[in-house]
Amino acid sequence: MANEASNLVSAYTADSATGLLTPVGSVAAGTLPVAVIVEPSGRFAYVANQGSRDISEYSINQSSGALTLISTVTSGTTQFAITVDPSGQFLYTANQGSQNNSTTGVLNPIGTVAAGADPTAVTIDPTGKFAHVANQVSTVSIYKIDAISGALTSLGTASSGAGPMSLAVDPTGKFAYVGDVSSDNLVYSFNVDANTGLLTNTGSLPAGGIYPYPVIVEPAGKFAYGANIDSNNVSIFSIDPDTGKLTAAGSVATTTSPGALYITTAIQ
């Protein structure tokens, strides 16, 4: 967990039966850490530090879960999100891509690519072929990923409300969902072209709360969830497996300003 106020990253063990968390310690991050990601093998973790404009790299103790700092690498300005591709070879922030050496966990910068205004989320599709970036001013940028270098090539943009801030792709890679945090407070649905990665808007529905950030899809692809920061609740949506259409399925109250969601396993 990234702690913005203290510039620390906290680690926890999770009880496999109850899900309860036990702290195993904290380590220093950069200034204003805003996002954490663990690569697919579970051996390395990366933290995007918005204030110091870099990424902290950690090894994960496989017995205790404790983090050990490896090094840091310079990244872009005002990072907001970080993700790793399914192969664990490439890591991306909302403004910079870096190659990840799967043996050492050390990042090697491979360049930048233009996004839209105020990029706040970056998502890789399950095949690792395409990246999508939510730009908070009205669009989603679409990129093709070079399988060898990890470099991004722009394929264009898709319109997505007045304030798209988070983006999730379902496990099949066929559907994408965007949370619009403008005064409209909507969740948009898209079909994803398997060959080109291009998005087709298939409609929207009320988010069920105010400022839906983030919107995520659980690993089985049956449900989507939206954390509504300004109304202190989480909205639940069922996903039509054939069309990707969302149907509101209720909500649950949370404590103040929920700003992160994570599903640990597929819902059977």
Q: Which residues contact 149 (CB under 8 A, 6 or more apart)?
A: 99, 110
**What is the domain range of residue 9?**
2-218
* Per-residue confidence in pLDDT tens, the chain, 268 aa: 777 778 988 888 877 777 677 888 889 999 988 888 889 898 999 998 989 989 999 999 988 989 999 999 988 888 888 899 999 999 998 875 666 666 677 888 888 888 888 888 899 999 999 999 999 888 999 999 999 999 999 999 999 889 999 999 999 999 999 999 998 999 999 999 999 999 999 999 999 999 999 999 998 999 999 999 999 999 999 999 999 999 999 999 988 888 777 776 655 5
Structure tokens at 64: 């205790």
In a domain, 73, yes or no: yes
**Looking at residue 264, what is its pLDDT?**
62
Question: Does 265 fall in a domain?
Answer: no
State the pLDDT at residue 265: 60
47 is written with which tokens?
């933290």
Chain centroid to CA 114: 19
Give Cα 62 to chain centroid, integer Å: 24
Query: Which tokens is 125 given?
Result: 């599709």
| pLDDT given at position 91 | 92
- Distance of alpha carbon 198 from alpha carbon 143, whole angstroms: 9
Q: Are strands 90-93 and 97-100 parallel, antiparallel or unpaired?
A: antiparallel
C-alpha closest to that of 12 among 46, 72, 79, 60: 60
- The values of phi and psi at residue 122, to 5°, are -135, 130
Is residue 242 a part of any domain in this protein? no
110 belongs to a structural domain: yes
Distance CA 16, CA 25 (A): 19
85, 74 Cβ separation under 8 angstroms: no
Domains held by the chain: number: 1
Q: Is residue 223 part of a domain?
A: no
| Torsions phi, psi for 39 (to 5 deg) | -75, 160
Is 18 exposed, middle or buried (CB count within 10 Å of its CB: 0-12, 13-18, 19+)?
Answer: exposed
Q: Is residue 116 part of a domain?
A: yes
CA distance 113 to 122: 13
Tell me, rounded to whole angstroms, the distance of Cα 36 from its chain centroid: 9
Residue 224 lies in a domain: no
Bond prior to 40 in cis (omega within 30° of 0): no
Q: Which residue has the tokens 């403004």?
A: 95
- Model pTM? 0.86
Q: Which residue reads 């730009």 in tokens?
A: 135
CATH code, 214: 2.130.10.10
Has residue 29 been placed in a domain? yes
